[in-house]
Structure 1
Amino acid sequence: MSDDHSTHPHQHTKAVADQLARTAGHVTSVKRMIEAGRPCADVLVQLTAVRAAIDRASRLVLEDHVESCLRGAASNGMADDEWARLKEALDTFIR
């Protein structure tokens, strides 16, 4: 998806990984609800919770990007390139 060749630490890496692990468990639970024939309203409530969990992880990734990637790119004279990558990522995410 990205052709970024650099790696650097991000403040929220563990929090994002933990959030996604919890979300994966939640998705598995929702799948079991569907297989068990639970009411659609109950399933939809849980799917809304899954979406919110993904949104929380996304916000952390965005926060890291702004704090680490954009700040680093600005100090290296590559802010325009990083802004373009951010715009592309946001366009994809918002679709």
Structure 2
Amino acid sequence: MTRLAKIEGHVRAVKDMAANGRDCSEVLLQIAAVRKALDGAAKLLFKDHLESCVVDAVHHGDEEKVLSDLQKALDNFIR
């Protein structure tokens, strides 16, 4: 949650930069930083999901549903 809150603040700062007419190259650089931060958050979430949800599902015999849900999520995330 802390990571997402920081990203949210960064996005607001980028919005302010654009609204205040900052140089396009500066805004694009900040957008790239936001994208990298979002990728980092997604990586952390995916790691946590594998270590907890998928492991729990395997232990409880629900692996087909969890793997199906994970495949759908990956299909949406990686296009």
Question: Normalised by the size of structure 2, how large is the TM-score?
Answer: 0.97
1:9-60 deviation digits (Å, cap 9, x = unpaired): xxxxxxxx11100000000100010011011100000000000111111011
- Quick one: which of 37, 53, 77 aligns to 2:37? 53
| Larger RCO: 1 or 2 (CA < 8 Å, sep 6+) | 1
* Count of aligned pairs between the two proteins: 79
Which letter maps to 2:43?
Answer: R
**Unaligned stretches of 5+ in structure 1?**
1-16
Q: Which residue of 1 aligns with 2:62?
A: 78
Runs of 4+ deviating beyond 3 Å: none
**Aligned mates of 1:55, 1:81 — CA distance in 2:** 25
Query: What is the identity percentage for the equivalent residue pairs of Structure 1 and Structure 2?
Result: 44
Give the Cα–Cα distance (whole angstroms) in 1 for the partners of residues 30 and 52 of structure 2. 33
Matched, 1:39 2:59: no
Q: Which residue of 2 aligns with 1:92?
A: 76
Deviation of the 1:79 alpha carbon: 0.7
RMSD: 0.6
Partner SS, residue 32 of structure 1: helix
Q: Does 2:7 align with 1:23? A: yes
Using the TM superposition, give the Cα deviation of residue 80 of structure 1 relative to its aligned residue in structure 2, in angstroms.
Answer: 1.1
- Unpaired runs of 5+ in structure 2? none
